[in-house]
Amino acid sequence: MEILGNQAAFLADYKKIVKTGDMSDEMIIDKVVGELPTAPNFQIIADNNETKLGQRICFPFKQEVTATDPDGVITTRYIYIGSPFELDTKADEQP
C-alpha cells in the first residue's frame, strides 16, 4: 500500500544513500511519515553520520491537502518530488 506519493522512488533513493541497517520499508515509511508534518519545508534531512558517504542529504517532499464535498473531510498527503541533494556545509574561513 502506498502511503507517500512516489513512494517507490523515495525508498530506492533512501536505501541507496542512508544506512538503513535492518529497517524494513514499513519502518522507513513510518519514520518519515512521523517526521514530515514538522519538517521544515517538508524536507527529510539525513545527517552526515546517517549516510553512506558521510554527507548531509535532503529528501524533498511536497504537501497535498484535499477536501471532499459534501463531507468536508480534509486529507493530507506527502509526495516525494525529486532527487535527493547534498546540503552545503559551510565552514568558517579565516582570511
Q: What are phi and psi of 89, to 5 degrees?
A: -110, 125
The pLDDT value recorded for residue 83 is: 81
**pLDDT-derived band of residue 93, with 50, 70 and 90 as boundaries?**
low
> What range does the domain containing 9 cover?
5-85
* Total domains present in the chain: 1
- What are the Cα distances from residue 50, in Å, to 10, 56, 63? 16, 8, 25
The pLDDT value recorded for residue 1 is: 72
The pLDDT value recorded for residue 51 is: 93
Model confidence at 12: pLDDT above 80: yes
Residue 41 counted as domain residue:
yes
**pLDDT-derived band of residue 88, with 50, 70 and 90 as boundaries?**
low
Residue 27 counted as domain residue:
yes
The pLDDT value recorded for residue 48 is: 92
28-78: pLDDT as tens digits: 999 999 999 999 999 999 999 999 999 999 999 999 998 887 778 888 999
Residue 95 counted as domain residue:
no
Residue 93 counted as domain residue:
no
- What are the Cα distances from residue 31, in Å, to 24, 36, 46? 11, 9, 12
